[in-house]
Amino acid sequence: MDINFNKNEDHNKLLLSDLKRKLVKVKLGGGEKRIAKLHEQGKLTARERIDYLLDKGAKSIEIGAFVGDQMYEEHGGCPSGGVVVKIGYIKGKQCIVVANDATVKAGAWFPITGKKNLRAQEIAIENKLPIIYLVDSAGVYLPLQDEIFPDKEHFGRIFRNNAVMSSMGITQIAAVMGSCVAGGAYLPIMSDEALIVDKTGSIFLAGSYLVKAAIGESIDNETLGGATTHCEISGVTDYKAKDDKDALDTIKNIVDKIGDFDKAGYNRVKPAKPSLPQEDIYGILPKARSEQYDMLEIIKRLVDNSEFEQYKEGYGQTIITGYARIDGWAVGIVANQRKVVKTKKGEMQFGGVIYSDSADKATRFIANCNQKKIPLVFLQDVTGFMVGSKSEHGGIIKDGAKMVNAVANSVVPKFTVVVGNSYGAGNYAMCGKAYDPRLIFAWPSAELAVMGGAQAAKVLLQIEASSLKAKGEELTAAQEEELFNKIKAKYDNQVSPYYAAARLWTDAIIDPLDTRTWISMGIEAANHSPIEKPFNLGVIQV
């Protein structure tokens, strides 16, 4: 191994160590004191509930662990968006579980909480996965109600999705394990079946204090909307549980009886591990995002037996396309090549940049995968499309549009891994969040933005200097340096993978060695949902 490999390895393992440290903190939710208080009430935490519900020893993946990171600090923060979401297995059946974290503002819904819940429902709808709600929430966080209440992608969309999923035959099971008030009371009751935990669970449109204020009636919350009331008087809930574990055991028994699903039929054979060491990824991936490396070496450490069948290997070389298997599943891979390549015409092309020929190749390959019903995996390390007169005269906009068209209209499931750079229109062409990947996740080395921090700072500095010059003023060299550093520091924070994950632009930040698990579980989920429409590119310029 050369010295650069060792430096890269040290850097990437430090990033991984930082990721693990942040995850430990996030998993404490509202903190140890609030966890202890929950236990005193005889309740499990959101994570403990999910861990008890999911099959022991089976794989699972968490969606949005870093949602809300460094957001809402003036309101005390909102770790994981106040809700925990995992895809895992219950009695061997793949499900998605959504659990309110009562240690975070009593499980109240912040704006990002609503976005995360909608993302969980989107995954359930796209993949026709059973969804389990573990409800323990004080309802909308009132100081921010205007950011979550009335709009299309706000709180009310949750209940609309409940109704739509029911019409689609997607199983929804809800357990009321704490507070469930006001508009939030509709979620469990719009589910197929609802459970409630005795003495700790409650459901009502208005609590006892509001009832007293509104109509003058004096009543306690348990009599108003407790387990006995709703299981024996109102008939609102279907099962009464004595405690959290009893409720979760009931859910396991219900899920165990669900029939098999119609399969999409994606090709799978016996899984095999890569023949090359996966750990080499840490040394191959460079420390600096501007450095070159061979993406093919990354691919060989992600795919079964390190076998990769390249498509149009010698053409459009700044995008690698080809067929492989990941954990036994057949996949088509579209990846940005990050090393400088030389074309047959003797021209040099920059790594990580999409040229006309590479966009043309990718478009054709995506169409082939749709024709063959092969899921697509995008490995992003892209700085954008090639610019300049030669590219413009050669029709780069037209060729880029064809690629974006193919990605947008693709009907096979897509999975996006942000390995490094994810800049500008390159993010779109390589299936960024706006293009409906079933799952999109980042490595700790990822950066997402219109452009890199240094480039953005230079552009913004030039604009500022031009503006001042028009007024007859000029920046000194010291002022230029100070302004440049200030702009770059702000921009660097915004390109961080944690900034993106906090806003749910990506579903997670993961250890690169977990990539195979995410893609495999993602395709397994997608296999629940047969393709319902043909692949059609519509109108494109050829």
So what's the pLDDT on residue 388? 81
- pLDDT tens sequence across 416-439: 999 999 998 999 999 999 999 999
Q: Is 8 part of any domain?
A: no
- pLDDT tens sequence across 44-92: 999 999 999 999 999 999 999 999 999 999 999 999 999 999 999 999 9
One domain for residues 345 and 233: no
One domain for residues 479 and 406: no
Where in the sequence is the domain holding 345, given as residue range(s)? 279-446+506-528
So what's the pLDDT on residue 86? 98
Q: Is 370 part of any domain?
A: yes
- pLDDT tens sequence across 206-217: 888 888 889 999
Domain count, the chain: 3
Q: Any idea what the Cα angle at residue 157 is, between residues 153 and 163, rounded to 5°?
A: 150
Neighbours of 51 (CB within 10 A): 15
One domain for residues 325 and 384: yes
So what's the pLDDT on residue 390? 82
Q: What is the CATH number of the domain that holds 216?
A: 3.90.226.10
What's the CA gap between 418 and 427, in Å, rounded?
Answer: 9
| Strand (E) or helix (H) holding 31 | none
Does pLDDT of 142 surpass 80?
Answer: yes
Q: Is 147 part of any domain?
A: yes
One domain for residues 166 and 307: no
Please state, rounded to an integer, the average pLDDT across all residues of the chain: 93
What average pLDDT does the segment 224-234 reach?
Answer: 93
What average pLDDT does the segment 169-174 reach?
Answer: 97
One domain for residues 47 and 124: yes
Residue 440's alpha-carbon distances to 73, 300, 353, 378, 508, in angstroms, are 26, 20, 21, 9, 7
So what's the pLDDT on residue 93? 98
What's the CA gap between 540 and 128, in Å, rounded?
Answer: 32
One domain for residues 283 and 168: no
One domain for residues 440 and 457: no
Q: Is 268 part of any domain?
A: no
Q: Is 11 part of any domain?
A: no
One domain for residues 357 and 321: yes
One domain for residues 413 and 467: no
What average pLDDT does the segment 286-308 reach?
Answer: 96
One domain for residues 472 and 520: no
One domain for residues 379 and 463: no
So what's the pLDDT on residue 1? 57
So what's the pLDDT on residue 152? 87
Q: Is 269 part of any domain?
A: no
pLDDT-derived band of residue 181, with 50, 70 and 90 as boundaries?
A: confident
Tokens of 139: 């309802």
Residue 344's alpha-carbon distances to 311, 336, 338, in angstroms, are 17, 19, 18
Instruction: Please answer whether residues 357 and 351 qualify as being in contact, where contact means their C-beta atoms are separated by less than 8 angstroms.
Output: no
So what's the pLDDT on residue 474? 83
- pLDDT tens sequence across 255-265: 999 999 999 99
So what's the pLDDT on residue 542? 62
What average pLDDT does the segment 311-338 reach?
Answer: 97
Q: Is 69 part of any domain?
A: yes
Q: Which residues, in sequence order, are bridge partners of residue 240?
A: 196
So what's the pLDDT on residue 183? 67
One domain for residues 439 and 469: no
Q: Is 273 part of any domain?
A: no
Tokens of 56: 């022991």
pLDDT-derived band of residue 473, with 50, 70 and 90 as boundaries?
A: confident
